[in-house]
Structure 1
Amino acid sequence: MEISRVTSKGQVTIPKAVRERLSLSEGDKVAFIEKDGNIVIAKSSIAALRKFLDSMAEEVHEKGITEKELLNDLEQVREEMWNEQKR
């Protein structure tokens, strides 16, 4: 566990071990995500991907698409992409 202090301006230094674990560099953006009553910090690109995947999962569920149908569609797209690369 890492601990950091909040400044009078509401700023927090992200401990080096956490920056390394998230592969954060100067200028990177981070997202603060509420999950189960806790706040999770994530590199913003990861947060954007998670948001996209969650929205896709919700849409699949709403449309009643099965995992088998989804995998079949994915295989078809892969085959089409493979065929395009061979040209």
Structure 2
Amino acid sequence: MEVSRVTSKGQVTIPKAIREQLKLQEGDKLAFIEENGKILLTKSSTIALRQFFDSMNMEAEEKGVTEENLLNDLEEVREEMWNGQRK
């Protein structure tokens, strides 16, 4: 467990081990998410990626696309490319 102190300006230093684990770099943006009375800290880019995946999943569900359909289509494209039928 890592501990940090809040300054009079409400600032907190993120411990080095946590910065390394999240691969934080200077200038990165962070998101604070309240979940069941706890606060989660993550890179905001992670949130954007999660939202993108969620929207793609919703769109796929609306169109009736399944993982099995996608894998079958991918296999067909691979075979076409392997056999030189697709450019």
Question: Which letter maps to 2:22?
Answer: L
Name the counterpart of 1:62. 62
Which of these two proteins has the greater Rg computed from alpha carbons? 2
Normalised by the size of structure 1, how large is the TM-score?
A: 0.68
Change beyond 3 A, Cα 1:4–1:76: farther
Give the count of matched residue pairs.
83
Name the counterpart of 1:8. 8
Q: Post-superposition shift, 1:42? A: 1.3
Q: Post-superposition shift, 1:78? A: 6.9
Structure 2 gap segments, 5+ residues each = none
CA distance in 1, matches of 2:29, 2:81: 33
Give the alignment's Cα RMSD to 1 decimal: 2.9
Q: Post-superposition shift, 1:25? A: 1.5
Structure 1 gap segments, 5+ residues each = none
Question: Which letter maps to 1:47?
Answer: I
CA distance in 2, matches of 1:44, 1:74: 31
CA distance in 1, matches of 2:23, 2:15: 12
CA distance in 2, matches of 1:76, 1:36: 45
CA distance in 2, matches of 1:63, 1:56: 11
Normalised by the size of structure 2, how large is the TM-score?
A: 0.68
Name the counterpart of 2:42. 42
Question: Which letter maps to 1:6?
Answer: V
Q: How big is each residue's C-alpha offset from its partner over 1:22-44, in whole Å with a ceiling of 9 and x where there is no partner? A: 11111111122233442211122
